[in-house]
Structure 1
Amino acid sequence: MTASNGSAVPDFMRPVVADGPPASARVVAEHTFLALNESMKQLYETSLTTFTQNIHDQVPVVLALFNGAGGQMILYRPGQQPECAPPVPISYQIEKSVAHSTMAIYEILAPYLDDAYANQLWRAPLAMYRTQNQSALECLAALDVPDDTRATMHGVLEHNLAFMDACLSKGGYTYAELENYTRGTTPLSITLIGMASAVQVGHWMRVVENWRNELGADWERSYAATNTSHVARRNHILYTVLVQFMGAEAMGERLFLLETPEFETTPEKMLDVLGRIVADRSLGMVFFCDFYLMGDVELLGDGARTAIEREMAKRGREALLPPRVPFHCNDWPWATDPAKGTGPARLEDAVLGCPVRPVG
C-alpha cells in the first residue's frame, strides 16, 4: 500500500497506521489549542516539585493521617529527616474492637433477616465469630487496662455471647430480637467509645505539645494538614487536637483538613496537596491580587453564577446559590450553625429515643 506522500507502508505497519480520511483543519486546530493546556499541566507539575521542596526547606510541616490505629503524625523539620510520633497506645484499638463487635454481629445477621430460620448461611460466620468473642473474654484478665474499662468490655462480650448462643440454639432470629440485642449494648458501647477517645486524645495532645515546645518560635510559621473522608469530616479528632495548639487563626491559613475518597492516604499524597495549596496562593496574588483565591477556594465565579441564574430562569425557577463570602476564612471547616440542622448533635442524644434495656 502506498501512502499519500508516495512512500510505501509495509503491511506489518497497517494495524498502527491511520486508515481513513485526513483530519480536517478544524480538528488539527482543536488539538493544537488543547495541547497548550496539556503542556501547562506538565509545567505546573514540574514547578510544584520545586515549590514543595522550597516549603520543606523553610518551614516545619506536621501531617496527621487518619488510620484504624488512632492516627499517625509526622513532623518534617527543615533540613532534617521526618520524625514519626509514637503510635497511640494499643488499648485504643482494643477498646474500639470490643465497641465495634456488636456491629460485626449485625453485619453477619442483617442480610438474612427475611427468613433466617430457612436460610442458614449466617450460621457458620456467626459460630466463628462466637469463638473469637469467647477467646477475647478468656484473655480479658491479661490485658493492661483500667478496671472500669475491663468491666465494660466484659459486659459487651458477655452480651454478645448470650445473643449468639440464642441464635445458634434456636436456629434463627427475628428483627425484633436483633434490635433488642443491639440496643442493649448501646450504653456500654458509648462508654467504650469514650474510653478509647480519651486514650487517643491524651496521646496526641502530648505529642503535639512536645513538638510545639521543641520548635519554639518556628511553631508559629509551621503548616499542618490532616486527611478525612466525607463521613468523618464533621467531627475530626486529629484536626481538633491540632487547633488547640495552633489556634483558631491558623484554620484555613496554616492548618488544613484535606478531604480524600479513602479513609487512609499516604504522606506523599498529603504533601502534594499541601504544596499545591501553598504554591497556588502566590499564583493567586500575582494574577488576581488575592492570596487565597487560587489555593483555597473552588471558585464559583460571577460568570458561572450568572449562567446558573439564567438557566434556572429559563425553567421558571429561582437559582439556589451559596452566599458570597470572603476567600480567606478562619472558620471551622464543617457545619457550625445549629439553626441550620435538625436532629441530634451528640451520640448520646441520638440514642435517647431508642428503647434500651439495661445491661449488667
Structure 2
Amino acid sequence: MKKSSFLTLTIASVMLFNSVTAHAAKTETPANTQASKDAALNSILELNVGMFTLYEQALGDFQTRFLSNHPLILGLFSGTGGKMMLYRPGKEVEHAPSVPVIYQILKSTGHSTMAISQIVLQYLNKKDSMGWKAPLETYLTDTNKALASLSQVEMNESWRPVVRNILKANSDYLTLCLSKNQLSPEDLQDFARKTGPDLKLIIGWAAQTQVQHWMGVLDKWKADLGNDWDKTYGASNTIYVARQNNILFSVLAQYFGPQAINDRLMLIETTSFTTTPQDMLTAVSRIASDRITGDVFFGNKSLMDYELMGGDARKAIIAEMQKRGREAFLPPLVPFGSKQWPALVTPGPGAKTLDDLK
C-alpha cells in the first residue's frame, strides 16, 4: 500500500471513531449519566469508609504500645458503687475490691421510694385506670419482706432506724393507697414530706461510704506506682445525668491534681450508665492517638480532643446570625487543653446541693 493511501485510511479511521464516540455521547441516557455521577461520588465517599478500617488497625497497635508505657486507672459506674481497674505495664489487670455492701442497702432503700413515686405519678391523673394496683400490691409484699429482714442485716446501728423509717413509710403509703383503692395528690405529698428528710440522710451516708472506699483504694495504688504516677492516665465514664459532680471522676481528680484534668484524667461521656472496660480502653487510646495526629498536622496535641470543625462552625454561626440581624448565642472561647472541670463550673443563683433545698 502506498504511504499516501495508508495516511488517508488512518485519518478516515480516526474521523469515524470520533464520530461514533460523539454519537454515543449524544445518545447516552440520563440513567447512564446519573450512574456515572453516582460512581464518581462514591469513589470519593469510600475514602471515608476506608478511613475507619485503617483507623481501627492503627488503633489496636497504638493501644498495645500505650499500655506498655503508661499505667491506666479506669473508674466505671456500676450499681454497686463503681468499679476500678489498674492496668500496669507487664502485669495482670488489678481489680479493686467492691464498695462495702451497706452502700447498696442504702441505695436500694432510697430507690424503693423513688420507684413507688414513679408508678403513682404515671397514674395519678388517669382516673379510670387501675393499672397501678397490681405493681403496688407486689411492691408492698416486697417492702414488708425487706422490713421484716432488716434486723438481720449488718450496718451502722445509728443508720438502722432511718432505714427502717423509710421502709415503714413506704409500706404505710402503699397500704393507704390500696385500702382507698385510689391515688391522690394529697397522699403523695404527705408521703414525700414524711420521707424527704430521711432520704437526704441515707443519700449522704451512701456518698460517704463510696468516697471513703475509693480514696482508700487510690491511696494504695498511688503508693504502689511511686514515680510512675506522673505518667499514669485515668478515665471515668458518665451519661448526662451523672456528668455533674461525677463521684468517681471527682475522687480521681483529688489524686491526679488540677493539671491532669482533660490531659491524663478524662471524663468520657457514654450512652448508658454502664460501659465495658474494652470500650473505655478504646476511647482512651483513641484520644491519646488523636493527640499525636493533632500535633503533627496542626502543632497542637489538644486540638483533636474537640470538634475539629467547631471553631469554623462558630464563625459561620456568628456570620449567619449577623445576616439575620441577631447576635449569636455561644459560650466563651476556651483554649485547647483547658484544665477546667468537664462539667458546669460557672456559679449562679439557686440551690446547688440537697442541703440547699428546704
2:203 counterpart (188, 193, 197): 193
1:44 counterpart = 2:51: no
Q: Distance in 2 between matches of 1:197 and 1:305?
A: 40
Alignment partner, residue 323 of structure 2: 314
Q: Percent identity?
A: 43
Equivalent residue runs for 1:302-341 within 5 Å? 302-339=311-348
Give the RMSD, CA atoms, in angstroms: 1.5
Q: How far does residue 21 in structure 1 lie from its aligned partner after superposition?
A: 4.2
What residue number does 1:298 align with?
307
Aligned match of 1:349: 356
Counting only pairs closer than 5 Å after superposition, residues 213-252 of structure 1 correspond to structure 2 as: 213-252=223-262
**Amino acid corresponding to residue 293 of structure 2 in structure 1:** L
Counterpart CA distance in 2 for 1:286 and 1:114 is: 61
Query: Which residue is equivalent to 1:97?
Result: 108
More displaced stretch, 297-306 vs 245-254: 297-306
Distance, in Å, in 2 between the alignment partners of 1:303 and 1:114 is 49
| Distance in 2 between residues matched to 1:211 and 1:302, nearest whole Å | 39
**2:131 match: secondary structure:** coil
How big is each residue's C-alpha offset from its partner over 1:295-316, in whole Å with a ceiling of 9 and x where there is no partner?
x222355532332222222322
Distance 1:190 1:302 in 2: 43
- Give the one of 98, 119, 125 matched to 1:114: 125
5+ residue gaps, structure 2, are 1-30
| Cα distance between partner residues in 2 of 1:301 and 1:149 | 50
- Give the residue type in structure 1 aligned to 2:333: R
- Residue 278 of structure 1 deviates from its aligned partner by 0.5
Aligned to 2:12: none
Deviation at 1:272, TM superposition (A): 0.5
Aligned AA (2:211): V
Give aligned pairs, total.
328
Change (3 A) 1:302 1:84: closer
TM superposition shift of 1:54: 0.6
Equivalent residue number for residue 4 of structure 2: none
- Structure showing the higher helix proportion among its residues: 2
Q: Find the partner of 1:58 among 46, 69, 87.
A: 69
Choose 1 or 2 for highest CA Rg: 2
1:155 matched residue in structure 2:
165
Q: Distance in 2 between matches of 1:82 and 1:97?
A: 30
- Aligned to 2:91, what secondary structure does the other structure show? coil
The alignment partner of 1:148 has SS state of coil
TM-score, normalized by length of structure 1?
0.87
Is 2:298 the partner of 1:288? yes
Q: Which residue of 2 aligns with 1:17?
A: none
Q: 1:24 to 1:130 in 2, by over 3 A?
A: closer
What amino acid sits opposite 2:355 in the alignment? E
AA of the residue aligned to 2:324: R
Counterpart CA distance in 1 for 2:129 and 2:316 is: 56
Cα 1:59/1:169, change in 2 over 3 Å: same
Q: Distance in 2 between matches of 1:125 and 1:132?
A: 11
CA displacement 1:165-185 (0-9 Å, x = unmatched): 111111113112112201210
In 2, Cα distance between equivalents of 1:90 and 1:348 = 25
In 2, distance between residues paired with 1:182 and 1:167? 14
Cα displacement (A) at 1:332: 1.0
CA change 1:141–1:310 in 2 (3 A) is same
SS state of the match for residue 236, structure 2?
strand
CA distance in 2, matches of 1:68, 1:223: 24
> In structure 2, what is the Cα distance between the partners aligned to 1:103 and 1:281?
43
Which of 284, 289, 293 is 1:279 aligned to?
289
Give the equivalent residue in structure 2 for 1:83. 94
User: Which runs of no fewer than 5 residues in structure 1 stay unpaired?
Assistant: 1-19, 353-360
CA 1:66–1:302: 2 relative to 1, 3 Å: closer
**Corresponding position of 2:83:** 72
TM score, norm. by length of structure 2: 0.88
Partners of 1:287 and 1:258 in 2: CA distance: 25
Instruction: Indicate the residue corresponding to 1:15 in structure 2.
Output: none
Distance 2:121 2:329 in 1: 39
How far the C-alpha of 1:79 sits from its partner, in A, is 1.2
